[in-house]
Amino acid sequence: MLQLTPHHNIHVAVAAVDFRKGIGGLVALCEQVLAYDPFGGHIFVFRNRLRTAVKLLVYDGNGFWLCHKRFSEGQLSWWPTSSDETVSLSAAQLQIVLQQGSPMEAQLPQPWHELENVA
């Protein structure tokens, strides 16, 4: 089972992605465009052009998970804008995005102790 924990490094692709891409296409995108190792246990988050769906890709040491969420109503109310290819989010912020909220408007507490990169 896939769980979002504070230990995960979560990378959100800023640009929209062609959702016809499956695992192989998204792995190639991670390597070639985002410049990350898709086998490193990071969670990668992508959105479609219309902002009506998201995909999460993660390697768990045994294979890839590809999770696809299509919203039954509306669109994503928030998505990062940046000149960089990716933006990092915390697990709590990603949960808010997946519920069509804005993590920048949420009053999340600051972590009292930064987690070390365990990857």
Span 63-117, pLDDT tens digits:
999 999 999 999 999 999 999 999 999 999 999 999 998 988 877 777 666 666 6
Q: What is the pLDDT of residue 100?
A: 92
pLDDT more than 70, % of the chain: 91
Indicate the residue type of 57. L
Q: Name the residue among 69, 81, 76, 95 with its Cα closest to residue 10.
A: 95
Structure tokens given for 79? 């998505």
Q: What is the pTM of this model?
A: 0.88
In sequence order, the 6+-apart residues with CB closer than 8 A to the CB of 114 are none
* Strand intervals (E) in 9-119: 10-13, 43-47, 53-59, 64-70, 86-89
35 vs 113: CA distance, rounded Å = 28
